[in-house]
Structure 1
Amino acid sequence: MSRGLLLVISGPSGAGKGTVCDAYKKDCDNKVWNSVSMTTRSPREGEIHGESYFFVSREEFIEKIEQDEFLEYAEVYGNYYGTPRKEVEAKLREGRDVILEIDIQGALNVQENTSEGIFIFILPPSMNELKKRIIGRASETPESLLLRFKAAYNEINSVSKHNYAITNHTVKQADEDLKAIIRAEKCRVTRVSNEVLSLKEEELL
């Protein structure tokens, strides 16, 4: 069985990476496994513990850092976010594709901690549209919104550190672009070489 793909989806706040990931998972009948991050921030309206995030205290998160339980973790806007290592590795061994929908700092940390991973950057169609999306988050204070927009403006420079970039003009288009990337990755010679060798061995038997 081929090892699953580790799909690391990142981008600036407001680019729509969560919406694009949800569309892809729906198209795949949820066969891809979505890694659930852990965070110390408070839940937003509609978010569910264990599905949206694992919401924990700052003290509990720091304890898990000390026990090396994260594939990556970062402190963003005063809150910790991290990806539990054990579950991701288990799903990849089972041949399941795994999506990590994380912030840019987290994606760069994954690059440092593992030799595998397909790093995909979600871009907004324009900075004006990005600003509208961020302002549309009613849960944020004006000060927090300004901080997020300034950070997003700077984070776009990180696109060069990823393997692919998708401009999110529409969810449908971005979803199709993501599916095209994944189809191409599954056809890489480095991934199918074991299957080719198995075919050759069958001919010799």
Structure 2
Amino acid sequence: MGLERIGRVKEALGLQFDCPVITVAGTNGKGSTCAYLESILLASGYKVGCHMSPHLLVFNERARVNGEEVKDGLLLKHFEAVERARVSLPNPPTLTYFEFTTLAIMHLFAQANLDAVVLEVGMGGRFDAVNIVDADCAIVTSIDIDHADFLGGTREAIALEKAGVFRPGAIAICGDPVPPQTLIDYAEKLG
């Protein structure tokens, strides 16, 4: 896969954030970590956008602003913006459901005058749709064998995929009590 297709649409949208972005990856604990971060930031008086997946009951659970699910009409406005940007490109790329909806939610957040954004990785990290944004802080909650067909069959391989959310000079946090050496080496290489 890769991020080239979604990256083209991101550029066409002019998508960028004027606030800190926290990306949360990991095998387990991503949703809880996002919810805790959102709660702490809201309690501190910040205006927060939180993107989590998958949803449990309704799609709107994926996009919250200030702890409230975003309404259908507002989501549709941003779905339309993504589609307009996509079809405006030469050889319009096909996006997956997750890529399309993630772009729409990010577009909504980018225009919402937020103080912070929390993004949950869907699967892995390196090639996940949320990774089109350079996070100011990237968290890997835990590393275990998951999605082995896509991420690799060992903790070391999976850790490297999840570490793909780390950025040079940005804060990198790992909650795994015994992180694989591949994750540590990757973080050290970035600086």
Q: Identify the TM-score tier after normalising by the shorter chain.
A: 0.3 to 0.5
**TM-score in terms of structure 1 length:** 0.44
**TM-score in terms of structure 2 length:** 0.47
Bigger radius of gyration among the two = 1
Which is richer in strand? 1
